[in-house]
Structure 1
Amino acid sequence: MNKYPPFILGRLMLENIAIIIAVIFCEIYLYLVIRALFSSRSQGHQFSHLKNLDSAIASYSKLIQKNPRDTKSYLARSSAYIQQERLTEALADCDMVTLLEPDNPYAFLNRGAIYGLHNEHEKCIDETTRCLELKPDTLDALINRAHTYARLGNIDAALSDFARIIELAPRNPEHYFERGNCFLNLHKYPEAIADYTHALKQRDKTWEYYYRWDCHQKRGIAHTKLGQLKQARVDFDLALKHCLFHEAIRLDPHDLDNYILRGTLYYCAEQYQNALLDFLKIQEHAALTPDQQVLLGFCYLKLGEVQQAKTIFRQAEEVNVYSAAINQNPGDPENYLGRGVLRFYLEEYQLAIEDLTHALKLGEQFAELLAARGSAYEKLGQYELAQQDLEMAISNTPDCPTAYFYLAWMLATCPEPQYRNGPRALELAQRNLELLPEINWNSLSVLAAAFAESGDFESAIKWITQAMKLAQNEDKTDCEKQLQCYERNQAYTDLDP
């Protein structure tokens, strides 16, 4: 006797039939999947994914032989050719797709990439624009066009594309990073900082591994431009922590590019001795470029080797370190700023003022520019102009310690008594100390001068003694001159040009 009632038996039979049908469909699906996996195009995609590009190209070519009108295989093969930098063959495949399908957007996308690799930027923009006309919001096309606009200096157009890119892919840190670079080039430093910060908040392990250090470095540069030296120092320290140069140099100590990049980063992080060692390592094997030579000079300057620094600066000036860049792009204020700073340290103060003024007119917003020009005016004895620049620098960028330092020094040590103001100098010197990432001999030296001008010689002696402990080489001599004055209960007067 059957132990199940009839309705249960019926349901069991239906369930068995359903299972049998499901199994049949699964077998069919599995067969189709296996067939797809072993088709030439799928094999080609697998080979491409595994970077076995020669095998991928062979698979796509087999499909094209079977069907000369197979546009998907032409496009896939062109992408593989692009990765191999076989750009002529890649372009021929794109042209074939356009011939077969005149409105295929991906042919224009790939062709734009090819022209970009050829540095034919206008053609790249034309092709990617055509792709976007046919298929709006194609992310790769927007990315290619945005980068190309940035290379051409059309930053506004690049920013427009990046804005749309970020709308389409709001969690990709690379897009914020690249837009931050555009803002940095436009001297829009707060906007650059915001984008770099947003990039660093995203969680993408691959991007973080390769680019986090660079994002910190760029954000540090933006902070420096705003005179926010404490924030900049934090970023530069993090850039050093996360950079790959230490490991790269360990693996290949003969690759000089890594020493250049690490040396520059050491300099930004104020690790001047380490920076000097990296630049000297480069110099052992190759001639430094004029730009690297200037940075080497600044390493010596920061380490108190003033005469050595000046010798290097003169050599850089003799080869017109900034002139070629100025001739090539006279509208870029950065080069005038760089040459102005170089001339300042060579004591060519009038020429420095002319360069710094020109940089200012071109839109340079470096927080220390007015402070540097004010100091140059002071060196020329033009104290009224010096004070105007320094007061304006403090007003414009109240977190920039450099302006406080120079104005405090002038009010404490000026040879013309009407410009001296001990209490104000002391206030400025203390504010300078608050804003610095760490105490240096210069900051204590100006504090001592301000105390002396205020009549507190005991404090002046205390702080100039501390400054001498931090000073190196020729800088100690300057401290000793101050100490001799304070021990005689005399304020220090800066009579040196």
Structure 2
Amino acid sequence: MKVKQVLLSLLFTVLILPSQTFAQRSAAEYFEEGNTKARASDFAGALQAYSVVVSINPEHAPSYFNRGLAKANLKDHRGAILDYDRAIEINPKEALYYQSRGVSKSMQDDYRAAIQDYTRAIELSPEDAKSYYNRGVSYAKLENHRSAMADLDKSLTLDPGDVAALYARGNCKQRLHEYAGSLADFTKVIEMSPKRAGAYAGRGNAKIELNDFAGAAADFTKAIELSPNESSYYDKRGFAKNKIEDFQGAISDYDKTLQLEPENYEAYYGRGFSKTKLNDQRGAVVDLTKAIEIKNLYVSDPKKIVYEGKITKSVLDELRNQVKEHVKIDDLTTERSEAYYIRGVSKSKSGDSKGALIDISTAVELNPTYADAYFSRGLIKSSIGEQMGAVLDFSSSIKLKSNFPEAYYIRGIIKHSLGQVNEGCLDLSRAGELGYMPSYKVISTYCN
């Protein structure tokens, strides 16, 4: 989700606190010099001036704070945090100090720590809309969209004209599949800021989900006018055109997408579909082959799989082997799929992986809704190195039984081991939510 990440709009003209009486007149002069340079965007000069002040008066919190802001504007967020730490140590009751430290932590992708700072800022200044906005954005970055929505709602209650908060909430609503509400938020953004390409794109996405494909194409056209080099806008407009059967127009959009982003496999897929509709079957096959092969882990040679995450092959094997299958007796149906399944599990436990796969695959063929069979087959595939096939089997078991914590757990550790760290950690989180407690030990070790 493309959400504007916040707040270096806390400019010095707003932030600067009144200077206190210094032991020496020169310290006050240096402080004002720092303020003047900061307002003129001479942040390096401001930083030097504030450094002189704190060398004279080491307990002057505003100078540490303003120096932190100068560092943040120079992209030195680690240094800024150290100055904010000192300002907070001297004066722990100033909400703006926590808010600004949260911003610098957010800029380093440390969203959990940033949320703690925004929460403290809210406790000290509960009517400050910007802290709710910042915390909402950080929650969204952590995929906690319900909490993000609550904060963005509060931010907009306090400041209804905040375009950034409306835009963020529109994105958040899309992640929660609240497309009508998302459309309304992006429409307001467009009314208030009509040159914002992302708002037209966001509204176009909402219209696609609401089956208004002609409206979506119109919005993406406007987004393209404002931002003509954004490949995703052409891709989405191509999709909308396919839906309204403007196949030639869709091909033109996908051509432009691939000109800007040659590895966009979704564009090859869309263009291949368009070509099938225009009876260019050879061209369609070429494009669809590209769609299948580009960046697709699931068509790679299992022998060439690289374990890219912190969870190595040996760790994966150890974690997977700790999971216990819940094999239970079911009524035997006419197709005897249950017997194939149990025989397959038995063969697997006796070391006959090949025979086990044949039996469990037969069980799945006879009963395509057999969630436990997919799960067991995934375990076997993973144990013999077929990680991509294992992920597909665990995904199938989850589709059939959404409250299957072990399936989320195993899929999570496999994805993590293959370098899909964020997706893997989200699966582990879901497994924990469903009651599989070993997930939290893995999360604490490999997801932080």
Residue 214 (str. 1) matches residue 192 (str. 2)? no
- Residues 151-182 of structure 1 show CA distances to partners (whole Å, capped at 9, x for unaligned) of 11111111111111111111122221111111
TM-aligned CA deviation for residue 266 of structure 1: 4.8
SS in 2 for 1:194: helix
TM-aligned CA deviation for residue 98 of structure 1: 2.0
Amino acid corresponding to residue 122 of structure 2 in structure 1: L
| Counterpart for residue 55 of structure 1 | 45
Aligned residues: 276
| Counterpart for residue 284 of structure 2 | 309
Residue 230 (str. 1) matches residue 214 (str. 2)? yes
Residue 260 (str. 1) matches residue 231 (str. 2)? yes
Q: Distance in 2 between matches of 1:293 and 1:143?
A: 38
Q: Distance in 1 between matches of 2:277 and 2:69?
A: 50
Evaluate the alpha carbon distance shift between residue 289 and residue 311 of structure 1 in structure 2; reply closer, same or farther with a 3 A threshold.
same
Which residues in structure 2 correspond to 1:33-48 (within 5 Å)?
Answer: 39-48=29-38
Q: Distance in 1 between matches of 2:29 and 2:277?
A: 65
Cα contact 2:50–2:64 (8 A) shared by 1 = yes
Q: Distance in 2 between matches of 1:95 and 1:322?
A: 44
Evaluate the alpha carbon distance shift between residue 320 and residue 54 of structure 1 in structure 2; reply closer, same or farther with a 3 A threshold.
closer
TM-aligned CA deviation for residue 322 of structure 1: 8.4
Cα contact 1:275–1:299 (8 A) shared by 2 = no
Amino acid corresponding to residue 281 of structure 1 in structure 2: Q
Cα contact 2:224–2:230 (8 A) shared by 1 = no
SS in 1 for 2:92: coil
Q: Considering only CA atoms, is the larger Rg found in Structure 1 or Structure 2?
A: 1
Cα contact 2:88–2:97 (8 A) shared by 1 = yes
TM-aligned CA deviation for residue 298 of structure 1: 4.7
- Residues 423-481 of structure 1 show CA distances to partners (whole Å, capped at 9, x for unaligned) of xxxxxxxxxxxxxxxxxxxxxxxxxxxxxxxxxxxxxxxxxxxxxxxxxxxxxxxxxxx
Q: Given the alignment, which residue of 101, 106, 114 partners 1:111? A: 101
Structure 1, unpaired ranges of 5+: 1-34, 246-257, 329-350, 363-497
TM-aligned CA deviation for residue 56 of structure 1: 2.0
Evaluate the alpha carbon distance shift between residue 295 and residue 83 of structure 1 in structure 2; reply closer, same or farther with a 3 A threshold.
farther
Q: Distance in 2 between matches of 1:266 and 1:49?
A: 43
The CA RMSD over aligned residues, in Å, is 3.4
Q: Given the alignment, which residue of 281, 289, 310 partners 2:259? A: 281
Q: Given the alignment, which residue of 95, 99, 102 partners 2:89? A: 99
TM-aligned CA deviation for residue 95 of structure 1: 1.3
Cα contact 2:263–2:294 (8 A) shared by 1 = no
- Residues 240-286 of structure 1 show CA distances to partners (whole Å, capped at 9, x for unaligned) of 33x133xxxxxxxxxxxx35245335525634344244244346xxx
TM-aligned CA deviation for residue 90 of structure 1: 0.7
Q: Given the alignment, which residue of 294, 306, 324 partners 2:269? A: 294
Cα contact 1:259–1:281 (8 A) shared by 2 = no
TM-aligned CA deviation for residue 142 of structure 1: 1.4
Q: Distance in 1 between matches of 2:58 and 2:278?
A: 69
| Counterpart for residue 65 of structure 2 | 75
Evaluate the alpha carbon distance shift between residue 218 and residue 96 of structure 1 in structure 2; reply closer, same or farther with a 3 A threshold.
same
Evaluate the alpha carbon distance shift between residue 218 and residue 299 of structure 1 in structure 2; reply closer, same or farther with a 3 A threshold.
farther
| Counterpart for residue 430 of structure 2 | none
- Larger mean CA deviation between 227-236 and 118-127 belongs to 227-236
Evaluate the alpha carbon distance shift between residue 259 and residue 143 of structure 1 in structure 2; reply closer, same or farther with a 3 A threshold.
closer
Amino acid corresponding to residue 134 of structure 1 in structure 2: L
TM-aligned CA deviation for residue 66 of structure 1: 2.8
Q: Distance in 2 between matches of 1:279 and 1:164?
A: 38
Q: Distance in 2 between matches of 1:59 and 1:88?
A: 20
Q: Distance in 1 between matches of 2:214 and 2:270?
A: 21
Amino acid corresponding to residue 114 of structure 1 in structure 2: S
Cα contact 2:220–2:234 (8 A) shared by 1 = no
Amino acid corresponding to residue 97 of structure 1 in structure 2: A
Amino acid corresponding to residue 209 of structure 2 in structure 1: K
Evaluate the alpha carbon distance shift between residue 51 and residue 308 of structure 1 in structure 2; reply closer, same or farther with a 3 A threshold.
farther
Which residues in structure 2 correspond to 1:336-415 (within 5 Å)?
Answer: 358=399
Evaluate the alpha carbon distance shift between residue 235 and residue 74 of structure 1 in structure 2; reply closer, same or farther with a 3 A threshold.
same
Amino acid corresponding to residue 220 of structure 1 in structure 2: G
Amino acid corresponding to residue 227 of structure 2 in structure 1: L
Identity %: 23
TM-aligned CA deviation for residue 113 of structure 1: 1.4
Which residues in structure 2 correspond to 1:149-228 (within 5 Å)?
Answer: 149-202=139-192, 204=193, 208-209=194-195, 211=196, 213-228=197-212
Amino acid corresponding to residue 272 of structure 1 in structure 2: A
Q: Distance in 1 between matches of 2:271 and 2:214?
A: 23
TM-aligned CA deviation for residue 102 of structure 1: 2.6
Q: Distance in 2 between matches of 1:238 and 1:50?
A: 36
Evaluate the alpha carbon distance shift between residue 323 and residue 120 of structure 1 in structure 2; reply closer, same or farther with a 3 A threshold.
farther
Q: Distance in 1 between matches of 2:154 and 2:212?
A: 31
| Counterpart for residue 474 of structure 1 | none
Q: Given the alignment, which residue of 62, 65, 73 partners 2:55? A: 65
TM-aligned CA deviation for residue 127 of structure 1: 1.4
Cα contact 1:291–1:321 (8 A) shared by 2 = no
| Counterpart for residue 123 of structure 1 | 113
Q: Distance in 1 between matches of 2:297 and 2:136?
A: 29
Q: Distance in 1 between matches of 2:36 and 2:279?
A: 60
Q: Distance in 1 between matches of 2:291 and 2:240?
A: 23
Q: Distance in 1 between matches of 2:62 and 2:274?
A: 56
- Residues 320-355 of structure 1 show CA distances to partners (whole Å, capped at 9, x for unaligned) of 74869xxx9xxxxxxxxxxxxxxxxxxxxxx9xx98
TM-aligned CA deviation for residue 220 of structure 1: 1.3
Evaluate the alpha carbon distance shift between residue 278 and residue 167 of structure 1 in structure 2; reply closer, same or farther with a 3 A threshold.
same
Evaluate the alpha carbon distance shift between residue 102 and residue 174 of structure 1 in structure 2; reply closer, same or farther with a 3 A threshold.
closer
Cα contact 2:35–2:46 (8 A) shared by 1 = yes
| Counterpart for residue 272 of structure 1 | 250
Q: Distance in 1 between matches of 2:277 and 2:49?
A: 60
TM-aligned CA deviation for residue 294 of structure 1: 3.4
TM-aligned CA deviation for residue 137 of structure 1: 2.7
TM-aligned CA deviation for residue 187 of structure 1: 0.7
TM-aligned CA deviation for residue 48 of structure 1: 2.9
Q: Distance in 1 between matches of 2:73 and 2:164?
A: 20
TM-aligned CA deviation for residue 93 of structure 1: 0.3
